Amino acid sequence: MPELYRPERINLLSHPTITEKWIQEKIAEDPSILGLGDLILKDQERIQPRAGRLDLLLQDPETNRRYEVEIQLGKSDESHIIRTIEYWDIERKRYPQYDHCAVIIAEDITTRFLNVISLFNSNIPLIAIKCEAHKYDDKVALGFTTVLDEQSLGLVDEDEEIQAVTDRAYWIKRGSEQTVRLADEALEMIKTFVKDIELKYNKFYIGIAENGQPNNFTVFRPRKNDLNVEIRLPYSEEIQKKIDASGLDDMGYQKRWGVYRFRLSKEDLKKQEHVLKELIEQAYRNSK
């Protein structure tokens, strides 16, 4: 039988050798320990104009999304929240071509400050992560737990859709006849498990209407040479492994909107029909 041991919880704020700088270095060495995906280090101690230094700037190599990360030992406080948001705002204004997300890391995020942070979360992409350290013999283990994730945004509501309705001709002009037909073919595939549905042409995407009502568990964006497909599903390692193994042209998971994104050609739609159907059917079930 395996031996049970109880690691000793470390108070980081009062520890003589484990410092904020040390934790920063460990995250910089392997950003994946935060649990935000396979991120890479873009910069460390990044100088901010008239505003100090950003602890860490991380980037998703697939989507190029950037994460502005601030670390604090002990309890999170007002200055920590303000500083994190300020650095996020500076970076997004300097580099608007990227999607940006603020990340607060603290040893203790109290209920009070969690409530305050959640107020910002509806308008600012912001993640709060609790950092804990445990000791066993001469070894130290760092653990990171997301206590507040980004608020997943829905698609435009019905009112906005009515105002932004277009037609098939609009999308043929914006994309092409061929790529709009790909959306038709995808719809026929979906009709094998959902009966009363049709394409709904909106200004920013082609959605799906079920029984005349919007149900955008999947949306399409025809381009000139291919069709972008977004499938609304919570992220999971199991789904990602299935996608990686399928050979789909994966455009990366968009956490803010809660969608998997793919680029499809006519050949892809035929070759990958099985896995696409499986993912879309799962998204449909989740929409109920």
Q: In the chain, what are the domain boundaries? A: 8-148, 158-286
Residue 216 φ then ψ, to 5°:
-90, 60
Reported as half-sphere exposure (CB side, CA atoms, 13 A), residue 79 has a value of 5
Q: Which fold has domain 8-148?
A: Trna Endonuclease; Chain: A, domain 1 (3.40.1350)
Using a cut of 0.75, tell me whether the model's pTM lies above it.
no
Q: What is the DSSP letter of 165?
A: B
User: CA 114 to CA 192: how far, in whole Å?
Assistant: 44
Give the mean model confidence (pLDDT) for residues 245-261.
Answer: 85
Residue 32: CB atoms within 10 Å: 12
Q: 69 with 87: CB under 8 angstroms?
A: no
The answer regarding whether domain 158-286 maps to CATH 1.20.1260 reads no
Q: What is the mean pLDDT of the chain?
A: 86
pLDDT band of residue 137 (cuts 50, 70, 90) is: confident
User: CA 179 to CA 163: how far, in whole Å?
Assistant: 24
Residue 195 pLDDT greater than 80, yes or no: yes
Residue in 233, 191, 227, 228 with CA at minimum distance from that of residue 209: 191
Residue 159 pLDDT greater than 50, yes or no: no
User: CA 2 to CA 145: how far, in whole Å?
Assistant: 26
Residue, of 288 and 277, whose pLDDT is higher: 277
Question: CA of 105: how far to CAs of 140, 164, 245, in Å?
Answer: 18, 40, 33
Angle at 128 between CA 119 and CA 18, to 5 degrees: 145
Category of 102 on φ-ψ map: left (φ > 0), alpha (ψ -120 to 50) or beta = beta
- Could you read off the pLDDT of 21-43 as tens digits, one per residue? 999 999 999 999 999 988 999 99
Identify the pLDDT of residue 136.
82
